[in-house]
Amino acid sequence: MAGCASTPANRRTGRTYQEEDTPITIEIGVFHNGASDLPALTTPEGVVVNDGTLADVHASYQRVLVNQVRQGILAERLGFDYFFMTEHHFQPEGAEFSPNPLLTEMAIAAQTKRIRLGQAANILTRILCSMPGSSWGASGAKKSKSRCISSRRR
């Protein structure tokens, strides 16, 4: 239907889209919201927690990581252009749960060639200077005047 009156023209060139030199490219990707497979429990205070032991929670996180790697590899095999994940640690209700997207992406990258990987955000830890020798102690108590960043107000 090139040249048909109903075919819109490119404002820049005045030619119809069928006459353009460059083809239209559409990229399609996967945005993965990982989820815990443990049942959720709401406390009397309204806090949502995973209903399981610590061992159950760890096993669930391991299953999420394994499944995310498998799904990232499958996304490339199916021809998707990118694989993105959310980045929320320890979110018990399961929504937007990726225990460690950077680790997961490294595992996917080691087994793929073409797919682009990323996460919605990198959430910083509560205290950035928690390494040995930093000015913040393990309890978060300030040891000296330093420019270490803490996400909570003092």
Q: For residues 6 and 17, is the Cβ–Cβ distance under 8 A?
A: no
In the chain, what are the domain boundaries? Answer: 26-119
Name the pTM for this structure.
0.60
Report how far residue 82's alpha carbon sits from residue 76's, in angstroms, rounded to the nearest whole number.
Answer: 8
Report how far residue 112's alpha carbon sits from residue 9's, in angstroms, rounded to the nearest whole number.
Answer: 40
What is the DSSP secondary structure assignment for residue 51, as one 8-state letter? S
Report how far residue 17's alpha carbon sits from residue 23's, in angstroms, rounded to the nearest whole number.
Answer: 9
The one-digit pLDDT tens for each residue of the chain (154 residues) are 444 455 566 666 666 656 556 677 889 999 887 777 888 888 899 877 778 888 988 888 888 889 999 999 999 999 999 999 877 655 555 455 677 788 889 999 999 999 999 887 776 655 445 455 544 444 444 444 444 444 444 4
Angle (CA) 61 79 88, round 5° = 25
